[in-house]
Every structure is written in C-alpha cells, then in structure tokens.
C-alpha cells in the first residue's frame, strides 16, 4: 500500500497545517476517492459531493470518458508549448468556437488567468479599436464579485479578506452595484472599455439578478461601444440549466436555452467544468474584430493550449451534450428548490432558497459574521453530504450534474434531517 493509503485523516490535515500555506479553511474531511456524485475519505466514509469543486466537476468525479481521453493523450504528447504547433490545439479551438458560437478563442489554464486575459483583451481593444487615450481605459465591475485572486482581480473586489495588505492595486477599475442598471449607465463614459459581470454571483451567495438585467446591460454596452464580458467560469457548462447562464447563440439543442436572459456577450470567459475537473483548462472567446488585437508576444503561457488540456476539454464538453446535462440540471434544480421551500416551512433556520439549475443556495436566518452556516455544514458532513458556507449565513448547494432524481431526493432528505436536528439542538 502507498503512504497515502496508510494515512489517516488527522495525519493528512496535520501535514497540510505543518507544510502548507493556510490560504484555505476547509471542512475537516480528507478525500481520497471520487466517482460520479460521491467522494470517500481516508477512513472509507462515503459522502454526496454538493459543491462539485465550485462547479468544476459538473460531469461527476472521474468520468470515464474524460479520464480515458486524458490517459490516451498523456501516452502520446502532453506539452509542446506554443513555440510549436501541436495536432490537438486547432481541433480544440474549432470545436470550442462552434460549440459556443464565437469566432476566436484564446486558451489558458485557470479561471483567474482567463479573467486577466479578458481584461487585457478589453483594454487593448479599447485603445486600438475604440480610441481610448493611452493609459486611460476603464473596466466596470460589480460589487461582491468573485473573479479570482490575482492583484488586478482583487483590485476589483470589495471583500476585505481578499484585499487587506495586498495593495497598491491596479487602477482603472470602477465598481458598481450588481443588478443595478442605473448604476451602470451612470458609470459609463468615453474611456470605459468593458463591463465585466457574472450572470449569477456564485461566491456572493448565488445571487440571481433580475431576468432583464443582462439584456439591459448589453443594450447599454452596445449603445456606448463598451464590451460586455461575461464571467461564466462558475455558471457555464450546463450548471444553471443551460449551456451558458447568459445563453446567447451557443450550439445547444432547439429550445434548451429558452427563457431569459438571451444575451451573447462580446467576450466569454470559461473555466472549471470545461475540463470536467480533470485538468486545468480555461478559455476566452470573442468575435474576430475583438480578438484580432492580440498579436504574437502579447499574451500566453507555457501550458496554455497544451495537447493534454485540449483532448480533455473536448471530451468533457462531449459528455455535457451526450448526457443532456443542461436539461437535467434544469429539471433537478426546479425540483430541489420546490422541495427546499417545503423544508423551509418546517424550520425557522432558513429564510429562503435561490438559484438556477443546480446552482443554489439557502440563506440561514442569522448574521453574516455568524458561524451558523459552518455548523450546519459540519452537521451535513456527519450525515453524509458535503457542502460549504460562502458566508456566515449562506450555504451553496451545487452537486455534479450527473446526479439522478433518486439521489437528489436522498440528498434533500439528508438536508431536511440535518436542519431539523440542528433546530432541535439549538
């Protein structure tokens, strides 16, 4: 047996505490195996995964088709860098552009890299196409956003945990209220290059804007020659019941992306589930007239567009189509919210449930600086379900989209039991 297999959870957590930077505060569970909607800890305890690595594992843990693509490509060629062509990148770029309805794609590795890429792209477009004076370009963002943790991205954050003692920050970023069209109109001037927005604010607590918000924002952006950039790292790839939360001309089956909003962003940011959680992959897609401002040497990375990533991502996106994961997320999400509303009527601990598809959250009847949501998640863990607070009073529920209706009902029963037990003991 390997050292890891002999290890106990307490030992694994102690090793992280001793040798790792303490930049996360995880639930005290050490996972060593995953399959579909389930994960197991070192002691063999089985749990439902209700976080999906923040929506990176939409296709379920260790999906055989995606893992198979990884193994097959890993035995042939893993990395060339972009110093040379490789036989997978062009196929992948064509596949991705056709899949989501864009002209060009710039491949990267992580969500934060993709957001940085989109910001650089928007600024360069602003100078070269819109005519913004050098050094004056502005990017509008929304309060309570989560786009990543690089210096430029936290410059757009109003979360003190993300920003304290990390300054000075990147200039040229304007923050406005989310879901406030008047605030967007007021913030736009001739030097604004782009509006960067999440179609649903996941980290903020699955905050779903008004149905017309994105469409109205797009109209304002078009009127003012401002790029609309949608960060769909967490909301994309079928999570919200459509291939994209913004929808807009993706190559989905007829009628699958009906409803609102109906927006095609000028720039689309993808990551996480684009590779099914098997390999770091992200991408920025845009029209040709936008992407053409990027020229050799302007941007890139050694691993961006590597053949292993390309093969994995194509397999992961094929799974989404073949297994109808967007349609399943929509149906199961409707069922989840309906059942949670019934449970809310039984307990005074939960104020509301909100979300779209299988991206949902419950708001606990307590303050944001409380530990109630954490304590409930600890109790859920003991009952066989893993979730994580996103604030002191919000719990996000985002299981893999391969979940069956029977499994969802079992999970709902676990949540109900836990909340009623917690209420009794409080």
The residues annotated with a catalytic role in the active site are 146, 231, 272
Q: For residue 49, which of 376, 361, 387, 382 has the smallest C-alpha distance?
A: 387
CA distance linking residue 38 with residue 35, whole number of Å: 5
Query: Is the dihedral angle over the CA atoms 350, 354, 357, 358 positive or is it negative?
Result: negative
Q: Look at strands 350-356 and 104-108 and give their pairing.
A: unpaired
Give the gyration radius of the chain's Cα atoms: 22
Among 398, 377, 355, 356, residue whose Cα is nearest residue 364: 377
Strands 227-231 and 192-197: parallel
Q: Would you call 142 exposed, middle or buried from its count of C-beta atoms within 10 A (0-12, 13-18, 19+)?
A: buried
| Cβ atoms of 306 and 79 closer than 8 Å | yes
Q: In what order do the strands lie in the sheet with 388-391?
A: 350-356, 359-364, 394-397, 388-391
Do residues 269 and 282 make contact, with C-beta atoms less than 8 angstroms apart?
yes
Task: End-to-end CA distance of the chain: give it in Å, rounded.
Answer: 43
Q: List, in sequence order, every residue forming a beta bridge with 176; answer none if it has no partner.
A: 142
Query: Do 235 and 207 form a contact (C-beta atoms < 8 A)?
Result: no
Check: CB of residue 191 under 8 Å from CB of residue 128.
no
Give the HSE-up count for residue 235: Cα atoms under 13 Å, Cβ half-sphere.
28
DSSP state of 299: S
Q: What is the DSSP letter of 273?
A: G
Residues 266 and 289: their CA atoms lie apart, in Å, by 10
């Amino acid at each position: 047996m390997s050292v890891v297999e002999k290890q106990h959870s307490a030992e694994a957590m102690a090793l992280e505490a001793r040798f790792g930077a303490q930049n996360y505060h995880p639930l005290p569970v050490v996972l060593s195996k995953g399959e579909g909607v389930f994960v197991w800890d070192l002691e063999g305890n089985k749990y439902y995964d209700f976080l999906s690595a923040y929506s990176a594992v939409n296709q379920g843990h260790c999906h055989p088709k995606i893992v198979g693509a990884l193994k097959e490509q890993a035995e042939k060629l893993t990395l060339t860098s972009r110093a040379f062509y490789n036989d997978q990148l062009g196929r992948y770029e064509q596949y991705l552009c056709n899949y989501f309805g864009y002209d060009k794609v710039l491949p990267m590795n992580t969500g934060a890299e993709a957001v940085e890429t989109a910001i650089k792209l928007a600024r360069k477009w602003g100078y070269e196409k819109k005519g913004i004076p050098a050094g004056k370009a502005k990017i509008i963002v929304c309060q309570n956003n989560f786009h990543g943790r690089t210096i430029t991205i936290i410059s757009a954050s109003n979360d003190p945990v993300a920003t304290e003692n990390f300054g000075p920050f990147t200039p040229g970023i304007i923050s406005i209220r989310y879901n406030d069209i008047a605030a967007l109109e007021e913030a736009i001037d001739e030097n604004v290059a782009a509006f960067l927005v999440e179609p649903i604010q996941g980290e903020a607590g699955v905050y779903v804007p008004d149905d017309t918000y994105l469409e109205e924002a797009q109209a304002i952006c078009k009127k003012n020659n401002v790029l609309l950039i949608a960060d769909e790292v967490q909301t994309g790839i079928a999570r919200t019941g459509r291939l994209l939360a913004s929808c807009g001309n993706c190559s989905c089956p007829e009628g699958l992306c009906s409803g609102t909003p109906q927006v095609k962003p000028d720039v689309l940011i993808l990551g996480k589930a684009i590779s099914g959680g098997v390999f770091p992959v992200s991408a920025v897609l845009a029209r040709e007239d936008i992407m053409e401002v990027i020229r050799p040497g302007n941007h890139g990375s050694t691993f961006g567009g590597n053949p292993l990533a390309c093969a994995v991502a194509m397999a992961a996106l094929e799974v989404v189509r073949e297994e109808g994961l967007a349609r399943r997320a929509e149906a199961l999400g409707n069922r989840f919210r309906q059942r949670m509303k019934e449970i809310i009527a039984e307990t005074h601990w939960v104020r509301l449930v909100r979300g779209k598809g299988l991206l949902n959250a419950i708001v606990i009847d307590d303050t944001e600086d409380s530990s109630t949501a954490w304590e409930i998640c600890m109790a859920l863990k003991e009952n066989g379900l893993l979730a994580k607070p996103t604030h002191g009073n919000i719990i996000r529920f985002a299981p893999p989209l391969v979940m069956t209706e029977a499994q969802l009902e079992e999970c709902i029963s676990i949540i109900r039991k836990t909340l009623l037990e917690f209420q009794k003991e409080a």
